């Protein structure tokens, strides 16, 4: 069983609040489920929460990365003629 230290995850993510850390993890899990990103899941048999916590622990997942992606998706394409 893998154990993650909340303090380590907070330090790696750059987040100061454990509740914001939870929100970050949940947003990433929802993103993986929605996009069905099979490439990220092919090499592992781990459940999504463990995979996301590993991403945070390795410094791969930051709040800014999810915010940038959500802003890109929310911005409608221009319909200039």
Q: What is the pTM of this model?
A: 0.70
- pLDDT tens column, 40-62: 556 667 888 998 999 999 989 88
Mean pLDDT of the chain: 80
Confidence tier at 80 by pLDDT (50, 70, 90): low
Three-state helix/strand/coil letters over 4-70: CCHHHHHHHHCCCCHHHHHHHHHHHHHHHHHHCCHHHHCCCCCCHHHHHHHHHHCCCCCHHHHHHHH
- pLDDT tens column, 19-33: 999 999 999 999 888
Radius of gyration over alpha carbons of the chain, in Å? 15
Coil, helix or strand at residue 72: helix
């Amino acid at each position: 069983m893998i154990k993650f230290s909340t303090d380590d995850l907070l330090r790696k993510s750059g987040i100061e609040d454990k509740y914001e850390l939870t929100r970050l993890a949940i947003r990433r899990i929802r993103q993986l489920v929605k996009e069905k990103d099979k490439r990220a899941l092919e090499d592992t048999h781990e459940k999504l929460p463990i995979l996301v916590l590993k991403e945070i622990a390795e410094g791969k997942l930051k709040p800014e990365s999810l915010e940038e992606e959500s802003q890109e998706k929310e911005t409608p394409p221009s319909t200039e003629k």
